[in-house]
Structure 1
């Protein structure tokens, strides 16, 4: 399917949520540019929205495993139903030992990590629960592989700290980052980070990462703009070389 270059250019100004955004920021500008271009040109076959909704309802409403699985099977892209069920399976398996409290979710507002005056990265946990008289934000990511390097893990921890966990309600709270990647046998297993597991980036290092992303974003914009200009010119040439007086098949 041809890439809609106008939509791709628009996506540059709408970065995804924090855990997806940090994947763009690589060790060099060319790598970062390629990651950004891959994102804005791509169209995922499915998302983990139904699996995430089922997990959220387990925490907020105390739904059981069967109900959670049903949520993943009755909506969302058919291509992603097995993957979303696998995410739910892995979460409930982990919860057998973790034993999150039921009906303990509390309201919260999405926050933003400011990359620049115009560019804001959404930052929000899947849920915030109240446990042992403290608020516990739970960041859940549905990826089947966790391919973040150490720098990206530190960047994610720093972004979440800066935008969300530094709020008054959470300054002294624990927080959990839940991933459920597949093992060598294709079975999802839990990978859990706690707040403080990764050192936060110093301000100078964080600024360097942000500047790297912004430079790569502008490079990606220039590449897309050039591609769009070439496509528009080709379409114009095709139009100009079409004989409007040529009879249509339906005129015969």
Structure 2
């Protein structure tokens, strides 16, 4: 039986920044590892929870009950760790409007278009707010990777006159130390140093090279697996199995 090797999807802007390294070979190894051992869940239900509380006025207890219906215990636990922090942050917030934003793409180079899909924006008191949710428990964006992320998001937002005046905040729900509870740290993106054009081009080229190397490595692995399957002797239907 021929096995299909998992494909490498084009990463989002935040995953590009988080997995960036100066050495393309390291980037390739990281991306291959992520394909072979992908995350087991995502935090998308929390975006719905924010919408329910902010826009629909759904009581917090009802939102919690909805999360508790999720079958997998590990998923429930992760979501319920973050949900109280979200509630506290948005307590008292009554937006004049709330809307989602269509997916956009950032050209990294070498034909690689990286998707960017903000979860939401909302307006209140004449100010437009753009919160970005960072749910990584450990190793959130920092230093050059954080600057790269903010720089790329800035460029995407500046393409839209309706968004360029938005207050861009990063809501970081990571742990201060391993085995510690999550906390919420609000990062004003306006205070994050931007990366100049030359440095940005260098960083993006390294990522594009790493991505292409990862694609090539996965194709080689797939071809090797296919060849091994073809060369394996077929089982004799009349021969009893080891446990028969």
Q: Deviations over 1:159-179 (max 9, x none)?
A: 111123541012222111111
The correspondence for 2:36, drawn from 32, 41, 51, is 41
Partners of 2:43 and 2:16 in 1: CA distance: 16
User: Which residue is 2:54 aligned to?
Assistant: 59
* Partner of residue 219, structure 1: 213
Q: 1:110 touches 1:124 (CA, 8 Å); kept in 2?
A: yes
CA offset at residue 103 of structure 1?
A: 5.9
Tell me which residue corresponds to 1:72.
Answer: 67
> Among residues 153, 161, 169, which one is paired with 1:168 in the alignment?
161
Q: Which one of 225, 231, 234 corresponds to residue 242 of structure 1? A: 234
Q: Tell me which stretches of 4 or more aligned residues in structure 1 moved more than 6 Å.
A: none
TM-score (norm: length of structure 2): 0.86
State the shift of 1:20 in Å.
2.1
Which position in structure 2 is the counterpart of 1:132? 125
Task: Tell me the matched-pair count.
Answer: 238
Q: Give the conservation status (yes or no) of the 8 Å contact 2:28–2:213.
A: yes
Distance 1:43 1:218, change over 3 A: same
Which runs of 5 or more residues in structure 1 are unaligned?
Answer: none
C-alpha distance 91-193 of structure 1, shift in aligned 2 (>3 A): same
- 1:134-185 deviation digits (Å, cap 9, x = unpaired): 3211111222224323110001101111123541012222111111112346
| 2:220 corresponds to 1:229 | no
- Say if 1:19 and 1:77 are closer, same or farther in 2 by CA, change over 3 A: farther
Deviations 1:194-247 (A, max 9, x none): 231212211111111111011111221222222222211111111xx3376x62
Counterpart secondary structure, 1:6: coil
| 1:1-252 map, 5 Å | 6-7=5-6, 10-11=7-8, 14-75=9-70, 77-96=72-91, 99-102=92-95, 104-116=97-109, 118-184=111-177, 186-238=180-232, 241-242=233-234, 247=238, 249=240
The alignment's TM-score, normalised by the length of structure 1, stands at 0.84
Does structure 2 conserve the Cα–Cα contact (< 8 Å) formed by 1:72 and 1:85? yes
Question: Structure 2: how far apart are the matches of 1:109 and 1:154?
Answer: 23
What SS class does the counterpart of residue 118 from structure 2 fall into? coil
Q: Secondary structure at the match of 2:88?
A: helix
- Between 1 and 2, higher relative CO (CA 8 Å, sep ≥ 6) is seen in 2
CA 1:104 to 1:82, structure 2 compared with 1: closer, same or farther past 3 Å? same
In structure 2, the CA distance between the partners of 1:90 and 1:139, relative to structure 1 (3 Å rule), is same
